[in-house]
Amino acid sequence: ESSVPAESPGDSPQAVDTPLTRAAVFLVLTISDADGSIAIVRDVLGGIDDLVKTVNFRDMRASLVCVASIGVRVWDAVTGLPRPAELHEFQPVVGAVHTAPATAGDLLFHVRADSADLCFEFERLLLAGLGEAVEVVDETIGFRYFDARDLLGFVDGTANPVGRALPAATMVGDEDPLHAGGSYVVAQKYVHDMTAWQALTTEQQQAVMGRTKVDNVELADAESGQKSHKTLNTIQDEQGEHGILRDNMPFGSAAAGEFGTYFLGYTRRLWVIERMLQRMFIGDPPGLHDRLLDVSTPKTGNVFFAPSAETLASLGD
Ligand code: HEM
């Protein structure tokens, strides 16, 4: 049994780079004030790998993974480690028309598999282990919609980094050695106004997104005036373009009239996603916000840090 000393925590990422699956659960929890809660949470976090094995082995083709991440409010108590350099609360973004709110959340479990039963079983055992130590703030059950489309009908996730660009965009490196291998995570649960969206023509919808709807081909960036969602989310500086990894999933209930997109972004640099949110909600130039927001309202907003696999495992020691 090798225990990893805090000064050299190891830098293997959790299963952040897993390709989009058919099923996912996004589980946001707060840690309760009850005595012993922190110890229980540490123990469960340290045992996540074993719990994944326990459930995954029953249907290995479904490739169950879980990425656990921790918010700043509980970071010190749960990890006993210095904070990742950029970790702070979600900063609300208040535009002239639309606002991105901050909401409660200490822990995020991003559970993915190619079948919903494994996600369900993993979540069941996870919450049984955590018991009274936590309260559920939000549980969102995501599903794949045809060829990875969002409920607005567009293929979602295409521009995600692949190959060497993927760890470069998502994994903290030498800039913060103690937290190398970790990722910042931003989560926002959006609900859509489908009636307003369906009132637009396909051409108008394509101009909002910046891609064609049927065959998913990029449209040219606007030189001036209203920019598309795609263009507003292209972040460039002297070092080039800064990508992020998005694991968006549709969720909803036709009976309840709820149609949503759970936005989940992994990034090496929290400021990159924050810049995207500024450009979407305030606009570039200010006033010309992302027209996607006219049909999409964020109900939650959280920032977490997914520590490296070794750091997570060490919490159980
Ligand atoms: C691109 C949908 C929220 C960042 C896209 C695309 C779609 C889409 C359809 C084009 C295809 C692709 O490359 O994936 C949505 C929906 C959202 C949402 C339905 C929620 C209602 C966000 C948020 C952010 C974001 C909150 C960042 C804070 C990006 C980025 C791209 C993108 C970085 C790729 C841009 C590029 O081409 O380089 N999104 N998105 N999205 N979105 Fe979103």
DSSP states along 38-58: HHHHHHHHHTHHHHHHHHHTT
Q: Of 162, 121, 154, whose CA–CA distance to 18 is shortest?
A: 162
Specify the pLDDT at position 6: 47
pLDDT of res. 7: 52
- The alpha carbon of 251 and the centre of ligand 1 are apart by a number of angstroms equal to 16
DSSP bridge pairs for 189: 262
3-state SS string over 168-201? HHHCCCCCCHHHCCCEEEEEEEEEECHHHHHCCC
pLDDT number for residue 10:
85
The residues lining ligand 1, judged by C-beta closer than 6 Å to any ligand atom, are 150, 152, 154, 156-159, 188, 190, 209, 211, 229-230, 233-234, 244, 246, 261, 263, 265, 273, 276-277, 292, 296
- For CA atoms 73, 76, 77, 81, the dihedral sign is positive
Is residue 156 part of the annotated active site? The answer reads yes
Nearest to 47 by CA among 107, 126, 101: 126
Determine the Cα–Cα distance for residues 85 and 215; give it in Å rounded to an integer: 41
Side chain identity at 108, as an amino acid letter? L
pLDDT one digit per residue (tens) for the chain, 317 residues: 445 444 557 899 999 999 999 999 999 999 999 999 999 999 999 999 999 999 999 999 999 999 999 999 999 999 999 999 999 999 999 999 999 999 999 999 999 999 999 999 999 999 999 999 999 999 999 999 999 999 999 999 999 999 999 999 999 999 999 999 999 999 999 999 999 999 999 999 999 999 999 999 999 999 899 999 999 999 999 999 999 999 999 999 999 999 999 999 999 999 999 999 999 999 999 999 999 999 999 999 999 999 999 999 999 98
List 17, 106, 150, 156, catalytic entry: 156
Q: Which pLDDT score, from 0 to 100, does residue 223 have? A: 85
DSSP 87: -
